[in-house]
A and B are shown apart, each in its own frame.
Chain A
């Protein structure tokens, strides 16, 4: 195994002492390979053997690898209660006369304080994804109706000749866009603060493109103790009831965003 690498899924705190130093986790990992647990006195690492470098340009293959990565981390999370997940594609290699396994165990020993403290902090907690989208078509009428400048411009358009009205309509278009942008900022901050109060930690992620007409206003990763969902659930229910707003909630996830 000297020329083999070790693909690293996650590190965990052992809930019980394992009988051996290398144990099969009972799941197939990337490319159907066996997944093992290597244990040090204080930590364990979930790994599989792999080539020292490989990749693929086929995105379907890579997607499958990513799903396998998540399935393994999920199982480890279930089994060991607490995991520190690694990013996709982390391979420990053999180097300077040491095998990948020796290098991994050395690294775990060197980093054990840091890893243990991360692990203890995340014990009993889970990550949840919250995505809030809006339908501007449903929200815009409310904003347009109450905006004096827009109301004035609309009256002007109605009273002008078609050439002037055309130019004013362009002006109106810009103004409505600006007001919607301001509204999006206000809603973002208001909803962010409400959600933040219900969770232990929160990260703002990049928004994703949505199927028109919906637009994603916010994409959040939240950390909270498992089973303490009620205040957050109530808050999300209130947001869901707002005309033109939609909430998507996923989880529990291993705490990828908080390591």
Chain B
């Protein structure tokens, strides 16, 4: 299946497969790994593959104008 219009990354797949999908709360089920911890470790590993991202940038010359971006915004009601 052609899956991506702009090239999905491992981070895209991890975001869905690890963090989402149906979870069964029943004693007949075990989780393969401690998923929350795994998610953190995996994200760290993915990040380490790439250049470490830094917030902010120089403006207008030596000034830093990092916009503090919250992890998650909520839409206004």
A202 to chain B: closest residue by CB: B75
A173-B63 in contact (CB<8A)? yes
Most buried by A among B21, B24, B41, B54: B21
A69-B72 in contact (CB<8A)? no
**Which applies to chain B's interface (DSSP): helix, strand, loop or mixed?**
loop
What mask results when residues 74 to 100 of chain A are scored 1 for a CB within 8 Å of chain B, else 0?
100110000011111111110100001
Contacts of A239 in B (CB 8 A): none
CB contact between B11 and one of A11, A50, A106, A208 (< 8 Å): that residue = A208
A59-B30 in contact (CB<8A)? no
Most buried by B among A54, A118, A252: A252
What mask results when residues 29 to 42 of chain B are scored 1 for a CB within 8 Å of chain A, else 0?
11111010010011
**Which applies to chain A's interface (DSSP): helix, strand, loop or mixed?**
mixed
- In the bound assembly, the distance between CA atoms of A169 and B65 in angstroms comes to 12
| Segment touching B, from A18-26, A35-43, A188-196 | A188-196
Contacts of B42 in A (CB 8 A): 59, 62-63, 66
B4-A137 in contact (CB<8A)? no
CB contact between B4 and one of A54, A103, A192, A250 (< 8 Å): that residue = A250
B5 to chain A: closest residue by CB: A249
CB contact between B66 and one of A52, A59, A177 (< 8 Å): that residue = A177
Given contacts A88-B18, A256-B20, contact A212 B69 (CB under 8 A): no
- In the bound assembly, the distance between CA atoms of A117 and B45 in angstroms comes to 38
B32-A90 in contact (CB<8A)? yes
Give min CB distance, A223 to chain B, whole Å: 12
Contacts of B4 in A (CB 8 A): 250-251
Give min CB distance, B52 to chain A, whole Å: 8
CB contact between B31 and one of A90, A210, A249 (< 8 Å): that residue = A90
A90-B29 in contact (CB<8A)? yes
B53-A257 in contact (CB<8A)? no
Given contacts A63-B42, A88-B21, A89-B35, contact A207 B67 (CB under 8 A): no
